Structure 1
């Protein structure tokens, strides 16, 4: 196994009335420093993020995340804040377009998250796997029974209006609904939702240990992964061996976060093959999020076959290799791609 460079961050603390003095850089895995009532320094405990496996402050890593529905047709892209999501799901919706769901634990500094779009029933299953608070602006009819039964804590823009969301003037509706930390908190407080994980929640994925890099054995080459199963945005990923990350593209160009114009990247890609028939004669899709199936795990320029299964209907999806061993992910961001069973052959690797 290869060793991975430790990320470094620089902390700067204001000091003195007349001048500011820079504090030396500390390794990211050290505790963050604060002040107690006696004026003495105290460390904030670091924990392993349930989303990325990385070391993060406990105030972030043990606060329930929010799972935000994001538009992803040509009018809905680029999205704002998506580069800060620890996990992103992409699944097909009606009209051959896709919709994204970003799962965020560290979102306090984001001035915009969105645009926020409507719920599809299968996304409720995915969000619940992370014990997330689900943020959406409206819903398809097939999601209504689940929302009425309150299978998941959710913030519905149709009902909460300007309390949990706001609209901008730089885009036309419905692509101009956004949220941020203050609006999310207002909605969460209004609904009385706990922001602590359930006591029995132990996380979703298995991650590599600090400093360890996972390179799948016997994997096929996957330096370029093209998802032409999605016929509207035609997304693809390109592996950057120097950073160890995959760069994300769609609509023929780099996919960026509109907040900082930085290209989206991830360390892990999971392809989850699923049945996606329409609901009868309706255009809405009945995506199977529970029955299990096959897929691919892609990381560090390699791809291996996997299978997925859930431990219960509303429980966590687990991914296993050919030896029936649950896979370990590299620390970092993960994209989960829901690939239609009848379009698996449209995914190519180079």
Structure 2
């Protein structure tokens, strides 16, 4: 058991961050081994010019001109493991109704062969997708989201219109946890609707390896109202230099390939949540900014977040903080009274 250190106790409104150790056993899978041109060097000899992927910063041999695709992915226990998450450049994990979270998975550098189960839209997920000029993919919608989509706020494909055509129902799961879409069908739907798909996003800012200052954080846990089914644990894999993700003790892997989700940047942000109807739907304030934690290379530091043209990004003393090259997961936690939970970490 890790000894508690008073200096590690940090409060984020109704959330508390503490250094601790978890006695919960985590079942692990086996370890598995665009924009700005850069020059790659190998054994001192210059090789062909490469490009950086705009949303990961990872070098690519060809400049990516693809438009991002943002897909609503189900995170109910009956929908796990999901398909496609290991290919995502950016993933937002945000509460929907009750204590249930959903993913907004944004793909640009790599497109998944298939992604799902696909779930329904909410207005704040649409806003987050819009920040990357994404084609938005969902199956269903809330009344507010339906109005936004009907009015053409964002280019979208929805399973309500394309159930059984672009969207297929998997036989191994039951509705509403069985809607899937392939990238081929996403391209088909975009073509049918005249959506421009050769439109790369503005690049994020990335840095190469350098020393990160912060508290040691080899294991980070997020709890939503103490619902263990949605407890999230991120474990630092020092060999990979990335974080593995676990839900309710099970590693997050791809259903088809069994590839694990591996994360270079973990960004935990605090935002005001308000319940707005009898169904438990929420209004989440993604405009005001607030406190946040940025976790990279086994280190945690307290920062702030800002909404920059629809993108939730880290800042420190009003200056933007660059990301590590690789994938980014953004967990959004409530700051509002009565909607409590916790974030904890261990050295």
- TM-score range with shorter-chain normalisation? 0.7 to 0.9
Q: Distance in 1 between matches of 2:50 and 2:147?
A: 39
Matched, 1:331 2:341: no
Structure 1 position 160, deviation (Å): 2.2
Matched, 1:53 2:47: no
Cα displacement string for residues 73-104 of structure 1 (whole angstroms, at most 9, x for unaligned residues)? 11111101111111111001112111011111
8 Å CA contact 1:271, 1:337 repeated in 2: yes
Structure exhibiting the larger radius of gyration computed from Cα positions:
1
Aligned partner of 1:15 in structure 2 is: none
Matched, 1:278 2:280: no
Structure 1 position 345, deviation (Å): 6.2
Structure 1 position 310, deviation (Å): 2.1
Matches within 5 A, 1:147-166: 147-166=149-168
Q: What RMSD in Å do the two structures reach over aligned CA positions?
A: 2.4
Aligned residue among 79, 91, 104 for 1:88: 91
Aligned length: 301
Cα displacement string for residues 129-166 of structure 1 (whole angstroms, at most 9, x for unaligned residues)? 11111110111112122112222111111012334221
Q: Secondary structure of 1:151's match?
A: coil
Q: Distance in 1 between matches of 2:244 and 2:175?
A: 29
Aligned residue among 220, 241, 253 for 1:256: 253
Q: Distance in 1 between matches of 2:321 and 2:340?
A: 21
Matches within 5 A, 1:267-346: 267-312=264-309, 315-321=310-316, 323-342=317-336, 346=342
8 Å CA contact 1:268, 1:329 repeated in 2: yes
8 Å CA contact 1:271, 1:296 repeated in 2: yes
Q: Secondary structure of 1:194's match?
A: coil
Query: After the TM superposition, which segments of 4 or more aligned residues of structure 1 sit over 6 Å from their partners?
Result: none
**Which of the pair has the greater relative contact order for Cα pairs under 8 Å at 6+ separation?**
2
Q: Distance in 1 between matches of 2:302 and 2:54?
A: 24
Aligned partner of 1:168 in structure 2 is: 170
Q: Secondary structure of 1:346's match?
A: strand
Identify if the C-alpha distance between structure 1 residues 307 and 333 changes in structure 2 by more than 3 Å, giving closer, same or farther. Answer: same
Matches within 5 A, 1:116-195: 116-195=118-197
Q: Distance in 2 between matches of 1:214 and 1:92?
A: 33
Structure 1 position 243, deviation (Å): 1.3
Structure 1 position 30, deviation (Å): 5.6
Matches within 5 A, 1:172-251: 172-197=174-199, 201-203=201-203, 205-208=204-207, 212-217=208-213, 219-229=214-224, 231=227, 232-251=229-248
Q: Distance in 2 between matches of 1:96 and 1:347?
A: 15
Q: Secondary structure of 1:248's match?
A: strand
Matches within 5 A, 1:43-82: 46-58=50-62, 61-82=64-85
Cα displacement string for residues 305-341 of structure 1 (whole angstroms, at most 9, x for unaligned residues)? 12122245xx3333211x3221111101110101111
Q: Secondary structure of 2:230's match?
A: coil
Q: Distance in 2 between matches of 1:62 and 1:26?
A: 30
Q: Secondary structure of 1:158's match?
A: helix
Identify if the C-alpha distance between structure 1 residues 325 and 192 changes in structure 2 by more than 3 Å, giving closer, same or farther. Answer: same
Identify if the C-alpha distance between structure 1 residues 30 and 162 changes in structure 2 by more than 3 Å, giving closer, same or farther. Answer: farther
8 Å CA contact 2:224, 2:230 repeated in 1: no
Matched, 1:98 2:101: yes
Bigger strand fraction: 2
Q: Distance in 1 between matches of 2:132 and 2:321?
A: 18
Question: Which TM-score applies when normalising by structure 2?
Answer: 0.80
Q: Distance in 2 between matches of 1:62 and 1:223?
A: 36
